Structure 1
Amino acid sequence: MIPKVFLVMVMVGVALAAPEDLYGAPGPQAGYKIPYNFEYGVKDEYAGTDFSQAEESDGNTVTGSYTVLLPDGRKQTVTYIADDYGGYRAEVSYYGEAQYPYEYGPPITFKPQAYKPSYQPPPYQPEPVYQ
Structure 2
Amino acid sequence: MTDLAALHYTEEHEWIAADGDTVTIGITDYAAEKLGDVVFVELPAVGTEVTAGAVVGEIESTKSVGELYAPVSGTVVEINDAAVDDPSLVNAAPFEGGWLLKVAVAAGALDGLLDRDAYVALTEG
- TM surpasses 0.5: no
Using the size of structure 1 for normalisation, the TM-score is: 0.22
Q: Higher helix fraction: Structure 1 or Structure 2?
A: 2
Which has the higher relative contact order, 1 or 2, with Cα contacts under 8 A spaced 6 or more apart?
Answer: 2
TM-score (norm 2): 0.22
